[in-house]
Amino acid sequence: MYKTLREEAYEANMQLPKLGLVLFTFGNVSAVDRDKAVFAIKPSGVPYESLRAQDIVIMDYDAQVVEGTLRPSSDTKTHALLYKTWDDIGGITHTHSTYAVAWAQAGRDIPIFGTTHADHTHQDIPCAPVLTDDMIRGDYEHETGNQILDCFKDKTLSHHEVEMVLLQNHGPFTWGQDAAKSVYNAAVLEEIARMAYLTLQINADTAVLKDTLRMKHFERKHGKDAYYGQGC
């Protein structure tokens, strides 16, 4: 049972090292079956070069194992909470890709400086702050999902418009209509993060970079707040 779902999750996970987004056992991808209300996720701590489709673990939305012998990813509760809350996403990716993690560790939104970024979203990429003690609902280690949801609970930032987020001090999570799209978004996020970092090495003034002729054109086309960080 769940052979096709396992294969979808397996193939998406194997894209991460191929795209240079992870090393060793970092990161994880899941794929959901909405009809069966389950998702398939990478097992924890298994190197990609030895991962097999039959190793993929089937979970329910309460992060309980439905089928599988290996321990599910340590990020399973985050994937489960996002699937339970956002019923229109089909896949989730988490990586430790270098430039996205650097922005996450710096605790900064990734500013939109140009067309490459704008082709994917008109918003700065938000960095979701670590939850404060009075905001923690469960145990701290498993608050990652709420860190993401808190970032998007403000309707000005839609998880449809922005299919990616940085978790402060941790790294990127992305999602999409299916697992393959969530992996695509993870690769796009890493490239946007790299370009923004290099742009700031050339010109460190974010306000000036956002005030260029092209961004003024963008503002006229999409509105004043189109590209100023909504952050969270």
Binding ligand HMS (rule: CB under 6 A), the pick from 20, 45, 107, 223 is 45
Token readout for 21 is 């987004």
Residue type, 56: I
Provide the minimum distance between the beta carbon of 209 and ligand HMS in the complex, in angstroms, as a whole number.
Answer: 31
- By CB under 6 A, what part of segment 90-149 binds ligand HMS? 94
Provide, rounded to whole angstroms, the least separation between the CB of residue 72 and ligand HMS: 8
228 catalytically annotated:
yes
Q: By the 8 A CB rule, do 151 and 162 touch?
A: no
Partner residues linked to 58 by β-bridges: 40, 67
227 near 215, Cβ under 8 Å?
yes
Q: Which residue has the tokens 């993690």?
A: 101
Q: Using CA atoms, how far apart are residues 227 and 221, in angstroms rounded to an integer?
A: 11
Contact status: 27 vs ligand HMS (CB under 6 A): yes
Active site (annotated) includes residue 227 = no
CA distance 73 to 129: 22
Identified binder of ligand HMS from the candidate list 67, 74, 84, 206, rule CB under 6 A = 74
Please select the residue that binds ligand HMS; options are 17, 44, 85, 191, rule is CB under 6 A: 44
d(CA 156, CA 159): 10
Q: Please identify which residue in 73, 93, 97, 168 interacts with ligand HMS, judged by CB under 6 A.
A: 73
Within residues 158-187, the interface with ligand HMS by CB under 6 A covers: none
Catalytic residues: 119, 228
